[in-house]
Chain A
């Protein structure tokens, strides 16, 4: 069950945890956001292996954020882990429901239909004046196992939770990808008809993976909501989805390292560009991404040695 790759994952997590106490607040937020986006990318990895790219994953990210926010405001749940669970379940359930319809679609129509749903959610949230419309509402600092958290220590704890969760979920995804079910994704991408002749049902597999990717995005949204302390409909806007797709494509379909690495690189480039050129940061971001697409056709995961890529 445990492989060298898993040990590597655990080691990376341990390094990040050890570094926690050294990192200033801004870096904690930056790194935790990157990890959370990496979690979304892990979900996209499942779908991309089957050749599907949803252009509306921000819907689940946004749902997760709102679920965490409303869970603490309306239901009085304050514990980080419970809120994450709630957000994951809510987004996963939404993914399952939407998946009932969307599992029949492929290619660009899959992408656009998922975007349509996410934009409908965006529109509904914009019209929800009680939830603050485009301004959103603030999410109170959560507690962890009964402990109240404030200030920078709270960030450290949230960051540590994010790291542990990322390691856990990445391990889960890579373990899934090694199972027989997990191997069917690429087969669907190559030839769906043959897969169904083999006795598998591509629609059902895609449905399951879509719901799972929704769950992952929901967890990520909840993490970011608690980290930032605010949710707003912009989390569900198509530009957010575009960013996730960008991370996923940058990552390639080789495995979890690509997804996590791509999320980190995007956040870092974004942050540096923001500092260096406050007016023209898009130019730097776009230029970097264009060069990466042109130079690394199979995504970042193609850079890793063969051994790692299988992880």
Chain B
């Protein structure tokens, strides 16, 4: 029984984190049909930005809740600058090209951004563990959990609700949904598709950076952290159905729970459990759990 509770808690913690990291990827794919392989780098840059900002702040201030504001601020700044830069400098010029070429261009960006980060921050890991230890621990089923993990969970839920609210309850969201369903028709109806694209990509970049900024206190931020998460986030959004926000949430939870179950019940499977789940889901739901409606061309 306590094992089941542990699996549920660990799985939910991991799933929430995965959702936070992956939701930007699925948003960008849904609206722009871009599989952004450099998503992991945006995450990494968010983490670096937060670690650097926290480092400066805590060098002269005692630990406090201001840390959270700094993390959010650093992530938004990094996402905004980089998102705009990449959209304007690269992705705009690939408008109308096939999905695979664009994905490949983002792979080139992955290589470039990896080295740019190496130039800025070097090989030495950046640590910013202060916020991680700020909130103390609590006990569930006799086990100690760090409260920061629950903060990330709360943030993930908040971000999810916010996206849902924007998409369904605001004019911007309705325009976005129109572009998701039919780009040409939306353009014909007078929607500024280009502006929607810029806004979406920047939002995706900010979400990735936010995921990174709140991961920074848990891990040392070092070269390669972006590459480590990118494939897992792919798995999450593919399981959920590419471009679906609820799909990303369910996919993240499924992956989180599966991984926690493997760790508690059969640890050697940890290395491929994510891929096994993905293959399993796709066997029965070839387009993921929440597929986007596709037009059948005759």
Contact = CB atoms under 8 A, between A and B. Distances in A.
A290 B112 contact: yes
In this complex, the member of A104, A119, A242, A279 whose beta carbon has the largest number of chain B beta carbons within 10 angstroms is A119
Q: What are the nearest 10 A-B pairs in CB distance?
A: A286-B111, A123-B272, A283-B115, A286-B112, A290-B108, A123-B271, A119-B275, A289-B108, A282-B111, A116-B279
Contacts of B66: none
Given A108-B238, A109-B242, A249-B101, 17 more contacts: A105-B286, A107-B99, A112-B234, A113-B278, A113-B279, A120-B276, A120-B279, A193-B298, A242-B37, A249-B104, A280-B115, A283-B116, A287-B112, A290-B90, A293-B105, A293-B108, A294-B93
Contacts of A249: 100-101, 104
Contact of B298 (A101, A116, A194, A285): A194
A280 B119 contact: yes
Nearest to B35: A108
B231 interface: yes
A38 to B, nearest CB: 18
Interface in A119-143: 119-120, 122-124, 126-127
Nearest to A127: B268
A24 interface: no
A274 interface: no
A245 interface: yes
Interface residues of B, number: 44
B283 interface: yes
A295 to B, nearest CB: 10
A179 interface: no
Interface in B24-49: 35, 37
A246 interface: yes
B110 interface: yes
A286 B115 contact: yes
A280 B288 CA distance: 38
Contacts of B231: 115, 119, 238
Interface of B: 35, 37, 90, 93-94, 97, 99-101, 104-105, 107-112, 114-116, 118-119, 227, 231, 234-235, 238, 242, 268, 271-272, 274-276, 278-279, 282-283, 286-288, 296-298
A153 interface: no
A108 B99 contact: yes
Nearest to A119: B275
A230 to B, nearest CB: 21
Interface string A217-258: 000000000000000000000110010011001000000000
A291 to B, nearest CB: 9
Contacts of B119: 280
Nearest to B272: A123
A109 B104 contact: no
Contact of B272 (A120, A238, A286): A120
B39 to A, nearest CB: 14
A108 B287 CA distance: 9
B262 to A, nearest CB: 11
A200 interface: no
A126 B271 contact: yes
Nearest to B90: A290
Contacts of B287: 109
A53 interface: yes
Contact of B282 (A53, A105, A194): A105
A297 interface: yes
Contacts of B274: 119
A283 B112 contact: yes
A297 B94 CA distance: 9
Nearest to A189: B98
Contacts of B279: 113, 116-117, 120
23 contacts: A109-B238, A109-B282, A112-B278, A116-B278, A117-B275, A117-B279, A119-B272, A119-B274, A119-B275, A120-B276, A124-B272, A239-B227, A245-B100, A249-B101, A279-B115, A283-B111, A286-B107, A286-B111, A293-B101, A293-B105, A294-B90, A294-B94, A297-B97
A104 to B, nearest CB: 6
